[in-house]
Amino acid sequence: MNIQGLTKRYQGRTVVDGVSFSIPKGKVTSLIGPNGAGKSTVMSMISRLIAQDEGLVELDGTHIGHWKSRELARRLAILTQSNNIQMKLTVRELVAFGRFPYSGSRITAEDAEIIDRAIAYMELEEFQDRFLDELSGGQRQRALIAMVIAQDTEYILLDEPTNNLDIYHATNLMKTVRRLCDELGKTVILVLHEINYAAFYSDYICAFKDGGIAKFGPVHEVITKENLSAIYGVEFEVQTVKGRPLSIYY
């Protein structure tokens, strides 16, 4: 995915300012950076949920503006930051919803397998027949992630997916993201505030600041004491654990 000069303005205020970068295929790329830096706005523009004022997003050399909605839905699925499903659905029904761009309302045996796999990834087996409004916020969040995974698209975008998740389920999600990438060849794009999840489980980091990219590159090049201090304005220590960078702010 190639992003060139992406710009968004609201009421004359530029909130994303000429952002350009290429997201490597079959890798995990995490967007990090302060609140209001423009991460969600970029995620929404690269999935065509909102229109940019300038710039373009290319998927396999084709401007996404030229894709039919259904075609785009087959290629790319997104979990946005604010989700509020108000329908009386069970977990399984919600996850099955993720298959609709492919199958209409008819669930094939292959669909059922993909749904089962998504439910298993998010460890929702015992909740699959419960209604969403009977779940905790974290359980609902996991059901929404399972729905996005069930879309089985090449590109999977998750905006702050660890919101509401306890440390066990957040870690399970990050391991699932790695498997989606390493075993199924998916390209995963995340927005994360837990910098250590980004550092430990991503291949590439795109560090946002003030509507632009402060730094983009392989995780080891971006997660350094100097870069993190420059981006966040506070002193981090960076250590390496199991060959992966981890940062400590105290």
Ligand X SMILES: Nc1ncnc2c1ncn2[C@@H]1O[C@H](COP(=O)(O)OP(=O)(O)O)[C@@H](O)[C@H]1O
If you count them, how many residues does the chain have?
Answer: 250
The option from Mg ion, ligand X, none interacting with 37 (CB < 5 to 8 A, set by class) reads ligand X
- Residue 36 site contact among ligand X, Mg ion, none (CB < 5 to 8 Å, cut-off depends on kind): ligand X
Bridge partners (DSSP) of residue 14 are: 9
Q: Of 43 and 96, which has the nearer Cβ to Mg ion?
A: 43
For ligand X, the binding residues (CB under 6 A) are: 10, 15, 35-41
Select 127 or 197, whichever has its Cβ closest to Mg ion: 197
CB of residue 40 to ligand X, shortest distance in Å: 3
Instruction: For Mg ion, give the closer residue by CB, 95 or 192.
Output: 192
Angle at CA of residue 221, ends 211 and 18, nearest 5°: 20
Task: Please give the size of the binding site for Mg ion, defined by CB under 5 A.
Answer: 2
Nearer to ligand X, 39 or 186 (CB): 39
Phi and psi of 7, rounded to 5°?
A: -135, 135
CB of 111 to ligand X, least distance (A): 33
CA dist 92 and 4 (Å) reads 38
Count of C-beta atoms within a 10 Å radius of residue 134:
11
Q: Which stretch binds Mg ion (CB under 5 A): 56-64, 75-83, 139-147, 201-209?
A: 75-83
Cα dihedral 79→40→153→90 (10° resolution): 0
Report the residue number, 41 or 162, with the smaller CB distance to ligand X: 41
Residues 39-58 that bind Mg ion (CB under 5 A): 40
- Angle, helices 137-150 vs 109-121, to 10°: value is 140
- 213 burial type by CB count under 10 A (0-12 exposed, 13-18 middle, 19+ buried): buried
State the nearest-atom distance from the C-beta of 86 to ligand X, in Å: 21
Q: Is 128 in the site for Mg ion (CB under 5 A)?
A: no
